[in-house]
Chains A and B, each alone.
Chain A
């Protein structure tokens, strides 16, 4: 069974930092692209970042470029999102997602809530 478990969310002040983690199990982690997708209340989900198999190729939505960094540790079956210079508009549930062969988001974790507020 594919399982994705996020951690690291919480309340942070504007300008602060957080590091999200995702523990993956039930599949060969190193053979899948992975993504972070966030979902703010009242809006549609928003893709945040992708990372390819070895971790060298990454892409980001424009609104987080230069502030967020996606990374992975295939030996630990783990995905990470380092978030700096956080803004109120980054407030959302952040999901760890496995990317499938149809360029789609096949499996989602339960999410971790990030709240940016003073």
Chain B
């Protein structure tokens, strides 16, 4: 199985400042169809995970444009341009290029 590794595990940030989360896979996530099936999810306390971004950089419906995704191959990044209080929670990357779909261990975003 592919292994997904996120860094950092915890990220204290100041309101209004940027935040960045890294996700690395143990194998290339480029599928034979040319797509890279790497997604990002946000989980606020007491809520189910919420899709933010699919296929590296495609923001899902209703997701604010302060969230952006980038990367290729095995290295990917989620960036929040200006952190707001509602962004507190745990962020997960997930690969679906190969079965089984696998999530990273999560990065906890908290306000300083």
Contact = CB atoms under 8 A, between A and B. Distances in A.
A65 B50 CA distance: 27
Contacts of A103: 35, 37, 54, 96-97, 101
Interface in A29-73: 37, 39, 43-47, 59, 61-62
A28 interface: no
A104 B37 contact: yes
A64 to B, nearest CB: 10
Please tell me the size bucket of the interface on B.
Answer: 20 to 34
A106 interface: yes
Nearest to A100: B54
A46 B102 CA distance: 7
A61 to B, nearest CB: 5
Interface residues of A, number: 22
A80 B58 CA distance: 30
B48 A109 contact: yes
Interface string B24-66: 0000000000010101010000001111001100101000000
A110 interface: yes
Contacts of A37: 49
Interface of B: 35, 37, 39, 41, 48-51, 54-55, 58, 60, 92, 94, 96-97, 99-106
18 contacts: A44-B92, A44-B103, A44-B105, A47-B101, A95-B48, A100-B51, A100-B54, A102-B35, A104-B54, A104-B55, A104-B96, A105-B49, A105-B94, A107-B51, A108-B48, A109-B48, A110-B48, A111-B48
